[in-house]
A = this chain, B = another copy of it.
Amino acid sequence: MSILIAGGAGFVGVNLVRVLASMKQVLLVYDNESRGNRELLPNSSNIHFRKVDLNDIATLRSLVKRDQQNYGDITEIWHLAANSDIPAGIADITVDLNNTFLSTVNLLRLAEEFKIVKFLFASSSAIYGDLKGAELREEIGPLLPISNYGAMKLASEALLSAAFEKFLKRLCIFRFPNVIGIPATHGVIFDFVNRLKSNPSELHVLGDGSQQKAYMHVDDLVEAMLFIRDEDTNPLSLFNIGPSDQGVTVRYIAEETARIFGSRPSIHFGEGNKGWIGDVPKFNYSTEKLKLLGWTPRLSSTEAVKKSVKQIVSQIAGERP
C-alpha cells in the first residue's frame, strides 16, 4: 500500500514526507519542482519521486498505474500542490487556475478512476477574504476571497465536497494559516533574509507594516493534519489550522529578522495596510474547532517567527539544517 503526495517536494510537502516516512509508509511524491526540489526529500527507499505536471492527466494516469503495480494500491491522496506566488496569480488568472485548481480536478479524476477514496487537501485561510475583523470560524460566510489563489482554493474545496457526495469516503480539508519554517522557498521571512543578505543596511517592506497575521511553524502544521486525519471521526473533516493567538505584525517580523540576522538596517515601510492586492490586512482566525477536537500547537506566532527566522538564516547561509 502507498500514499500519493502531490506537491510533496515543496515546503510543506517535504516536512510531511519526512514524518510519514518515519512511520514506514511507502510514499509516491508527485511534483513539478516549480518551487519544490527532489533534493529536499529525505533519503529513503520508501520514497519514490516522480517529476510530473499535475495538468498532464495522461502522464498522471500512466504513472499511477505503474506505481500501483510496483508499490501496491494507493490508499490516500494528499494534495499540497499549488501556486505559491499570490501576486503572480493575481496578475495572470491562468497561474492559479492551472496550478491551484485544475491540479485538484485532475487528482480527483485519478481518485475516481483508480478508486482512491481518501483525500486530504491543503486549503487556506485565504478562502475567507477580508471579513473586516470578524472571527473567522469555519461556519462563517459569505466567502469572498480577494485573490485568485484564495478563489481557486475555495473552488477546490467545493469540488472535493461534491466528490465526497459522489464517491470519496474520507475527506480532510485543512485551512492553513501562514506557515513558516524550512526548507523555505518563498514567504516574508525568506524575502527579508535574502534582502538583508544582499544589503545588510537597509530593509524595504511592502505596506506600512501593520498587517497582522497568524503564523504557524510547519512542524506544528504537519502534526495538526495527522491529528485531524487520525482523530476526527467524521468522514468529512474541515478545520482551520493555526496558532491560538491573533498573530504578529509584519513590522515585528522585519525587526526580529534584522535582529537575528545580526545587522542593524534602517527599515523602510511602504504605504497602506496591504502588502499587495489580495493581501488581507488583519486576521482574526479561529481555531476553536481544532482545540475542541483536542489539539493545540506547541508554538505561538511569536515563537514560530523566532524559530523560523533562525532556521532560514542558517538555510540561506548555506548550512544544511
Contact = CB atoms under 8 A, between A and B. Distances in A.
Given A155-B151, A162-B146, A109 B93 contact: yes
Contacts of A150: 158, 162
Given A93-B109, A97-B105, A109-B93, A151 B162 contact: yes
Interface residues of A, number: 37
A154 B109 CA distance: 20
A95 to B, nearest CB: 12
A111 B179 CA distance: 34
A133 interface: no
B129 A161 contact: yes
Contact of A158 (B90, B145, B277): B145
Question: How many protomers of this protein does the assembly include?
Answer: 2
Nearest to A151: B158
Contacts of A151: 155, 158-159, 161-162
Interface of A: 90, 93, 97, 101, 105, 108-109, 127, 129, 138-148, 150-152, 154-155, 157-159, 161-162, 164-166, 236, 238, 277-278
A139 B142 contact: yes
Contacts of A139: 140-142
Given A90-B162, A93-B108, A162-B90, A142 B146 contact: no
19 contacts: A90-B162, A138-B141, A138-B142, A140-B141, A142-B238, A143-B157, A144-B158, A144-B164, A145-B162, A146-B161, A146-B165, A147-B162, A147-B165, A148-B162, A150-B158, A151-B155, A151-B161, A155-B155, A166-B277
